[in-house]
Structure 1
Amino acid sequence: MIMRVQQVVMATMVVTIVVFGPKRAEAAAPRAFFVFGDSLVDSGNNNYLPTTARADSRPYGIDYPTHRPTGRFSNGFNLPDIISQRIGSEPTLPYLSPELNGPKLLVGANFASAGIGILNDTGVQFVRILRMYEQFELFEEYQERLSAEVGSERAKKIVNGALVLITLGGNDFVNNYFVTPFSPRSRQFTVSQFSRYLISEYSKILQRLYELGARRVLVSGTGPLGCVPSQLASKSTNGDCVPELQQAAQIYNPLLVQMTKDLNSQVGSDVFVAVNAFIMNMDFITKPQTFGFVTSKVACCGQGRYNGIGTCTSLSNLCPNRDIYAFWDAFHPTQRALGFIVDAIFSGTNDVMSPMNLTTVMALDSNI
């Protein structure tokens, strides 16, 4: 089991994919990359918004090449950055960045915004964030700008041939359903009912993304939510993963896998590839030493129990070696842990990557 995970490894998510590759004549051109979702993939859009969900102060970015905060919820690179490196592309810029113009548009764009969820009422405590309908509105605006740059026909080919990553779901549980003992959503739904409701809404999001031209989409769900330092600090009495959150993830993730299969049947192609991050992450969390970590419970940056209370700030406890910690802050993996996640995305076997991993996807697309 552990040997399998070392080849594959961890993610805070379930991931899914959508693509019809570009024509052979254009195969040599760098593949565009688009990113949607929450703080796991936000590369700095929230820096430009009046929100409390920000990663724009030290020690965020301490291991980034500039050693400065970038808006990424990481000590260095985030998940999209590492994927970009592996596919030989430049990192995607936040869509709200003034630097995203001209030829940079051909690289792609990151529309993600920390704090959002599948549901529009998720993350209301963070004030002004880019909810999914707004991210899609910006994607439409991006396509208009791209068309003005390269012409509508080429713009359409760039979008259709792009790789897309969307990461959603965790906040709907942690910052909505379970945010208080008697949240509005927990009074409205059982965990099972809420999971099914989320899946029905996520399906609509993916269908809309397909309508907007995405043809290879990495779609993420949730990892083991009850095992992140924030939940250990606030809800665990003995350091064990919180059962209620674990059960929610175990209900939700199989539903997501089935939903992607159903969508594939509807479009008549393996557009969506489900990645079972829960399995990968649990192997990683239960055997951290196997992967070179001293702990998978204590965050590198934070305060309180497991360094899981509050946010990471310049006044927080800070570990001297981020490479031996699985979690950077109360919610997010370290840069090194994210490398294992990307290994899983590219090399995962069928039990975690269904129906194929990203290496297979890239190979198939290169032959179209």
Structure 2
Amino acid sequence: MASSSVCGLGMILSFALALASVAPPAEARAFFVFGDSLVDNGNNNYLATSARADSPPYGIDYPTHRPTGRFSNGLNIPDIISENIGSEPTLPYLSPQLKGNKLLVGANFASAGVGILNDTGIQFVNIIRIWRQLEYFQQYQQRVSALIGANRTKQLVNQALVLITLGGNDFVNNYFLVPYSARSRQFALPDYVRYLISEYHKVLLRLYELGGRRVIVTGSGPLGCVPAELAMRSRNGECAPELQRAASLFDPQLEQMINALNSKIGTHVFIAANTKEMHTDFISNPQAFGFSTAKIACCGQGPYNGLGLCTVLSNLCPNRELYAFWDPFHPSEKANRLIVQQIMTGSTKYMNPMNLSTIMEMDSRA
């Protein structure tokens, strides 16, 4: 009799432990990431594409000191957000390790090279275009439903934090990629921006339909000030005016579209992160943030280290802390930390209508 009680107790404990192994921790929230190379943490490693960061010196300052597929010397923006919200970093959706309990942490669907438009980044061939990323998000939810049931999956997704970063490539790797590009012949720049915003509206609406309820949407960044554009378009180190004009048209319209979308939904689902303003702070006064330069990339070649790819043959700075840009297009880990600091606690100059700390506090009381 005693042995059967012990056996029964053992079965109950085993069942409880099994349930616990697929139960999301109460204090952590899932995190989903969509977008381009600024937030890709390794999906492109699994694709036959030239848009990859899986060889040295990428990852030189990552905890393992090895390349991971992040376009950074170390951690990228999603990693640092995960740190701030007390969650482990999300795995790339294509990673074979993303299974079981790891699924409940969330997933990163981002893919270097993509844009709002399907023809952006065609030179990279195999990349996960944004509508495919959203299909993967649906597929993810089916996988989690098999694990914890449909109701708990819906709750996990609704309560999750979402980050989406798109738009830069639609200018850099599409409209301005070559003189007289197909899109620049089709649209004057202001019309192209309006077209991008209308297409982005569809993407964000779909993300809402798929359950996204706390979505941080980043702006374009300072497109004309990255080392790659300085190398190609600048004579005296000034930011490339046409790309800066593109960013100055795109970002306010993105914010307007987000406000209109929130009004239509009736609540603040989408949060506009003015990453151009965040970057501009340390681009205009790098020394104030401990950088020696915001013009020269740490890793690259040619003027401003802005040409070609970052490889073992590139010039490599000895101290990444002194550089705002890691490679010709991407911020260093230190710059990423400054950006996330504004996402967390920045004023409405940077985060509209509220920053992530405010969101976290509101949601903890809900």
Work out whether residues 219 and 276 of structure 2, in 8 Å CA contact, stay in contact via their aligned partners in 1.
no
- Equivalent residue, structure 1, for 2:28: 30
CA drift at 1:27: 8.6
Matches of 2:115 and 2:346, distance apart in 1: 26
CA drift at 1:195: 0.5
Q: Normalising to structure 2: TM-score of the pair?
A: 0.93
- Equivalent residue, structure 1, for 2:78: 80
Cα offsets for 1:70-106 (capped at 9, x unmatched): 0000000111000000000000000000000000000
Q: Structure 2 matches for 1:127-276, cutoff 5 A?
A: 127-276=125-274
Aligned equivalent of 1:61, options 47, 50, 59: 59
- Equivalent residue, structure 1, for 2:276: 278
- Equivalent residue, structure 1, for 2:5: none
- Equivalent residue, structure 2, for 1:366: 364
Amino acid at match of 2:264: Q
Cα offsets for 1:162-197 (capped at 9, x unmatched): 000000000000000000110000001111000110
Work out whether residues 27 and 366 of structure 1, in 8 Å CA contact, stay in contact via their aligned partners in 2.
no
**SS of corresponding position for 1:218:** strand
Cα offsets for 1:214-261 (capped at 9, x unmatched): 110111120110000000000111110000000110011000000000
- Equivalent residue, structure 1, for 2:104: 106
Matches of 2:76 and 2:186, distance apart in 1: 35
Matches of 1:221 and 1:194, distance apart in 2: 16
Cα offsets for 1:2-52 (capped at 9, x unmatched): xxxxxxxxxxxxxxxxxxxxxxxx993410000000000000000000000
Aligned equivalent of 2:310, options 309, 312, 318: 312
Q: Which piece of structure 1 moves more, 280-289 or 224-233?
A: 280-289
Larger RCO (alpha carbons 8 Å, 6+ apart):
1
CA drift at 1:280: 2.1
Matches of 1:258 and 1:198, distance apart in 2: 13
Matches of 1:71 and 1:367, distance apart in 2: 37
Matches of 1:43 and 1:270, distance apart in 2: 27
Matches of 2:164 and 2:220, distance apart in 1: 12
Matches of 2:345 and 2:163, distance apart in 1: 17
Matches of 2:210 and 2:275, distance apart in 1: 26
**SS of corresponding position for 1:140:** helix
Work out whether residues 224 and 241 of structure 2, in 8 Å CA contact, stay in contact via their aligned partners in 1.
yes
**SS of corresponding position for 1:197:** helix
- Equivalent residue, structure 1, for 2:119: 121
Work out whether residues 116 and 166 of structure 2, in 8 Å CA contact, stay in contact via their aligned partners in 1.
yes
- Equivalent residue, structure 2, for 1:8: none
Give the unaligned 5+ runs of structure 1. Answer: 1-25
Amino acid at match of 1:301: C
Work out whether residues 60 and 69 of structure 1, in 8 Å CA contact, stay in contact via their aligned partners in 2.
yes
Matches of 2:294 and 2:207, distance apart in 1: 34
**SS of corresponding position for 2:294:** strand
The RMSD of aligned alpha carbons is 0.9
Matches of 2:31 and 2:353, distance apart in 1: 21
Matches of 1:141 and 1:165, distance apart in 2: 18
Aligned equivalent of 2:331, options 315, 333, 341: 333
Matches of 2:175 and 2:118, distance apart in 1: 13
Bigger Rg over Cα: 2
**SS of corresponding position for 1:165:** strand
Matches of 2:361 and 2:294, distance apart in 1: 34
**SS of corresponding position for 2:295:** strand
**SS of corresponding position for 1:336:** helix
Tell me whether 1:298 sits opposite 2:296 in the alignment.
Answer: yes
Matches of 1:223 and 1:104, distance apart in 2: 31
Matches of 2:293 and 2:48, distance apart in 1: 35
- Equivalent residue, structure 1, for 2:13: none
Amino acid at match of 1:231: E
Matches of 2:247 and 2:27, distance apart in 1: 39
**SS of corresponding position for 2:98:** coil
Matches of 1:177 and 1:67, distance apart in 2: 36
Matches of 1:228 and 1:351, distance apart in 2: 22
Matches of 2:219 and 2:354, distance apart in 1: 17
Residue identity (%): 66
Amino acid at match of 2:295: K
Amino acid at match of 1:276: N
Q: Normalising to structure 1: TM-score of the pair?
A: 0.92
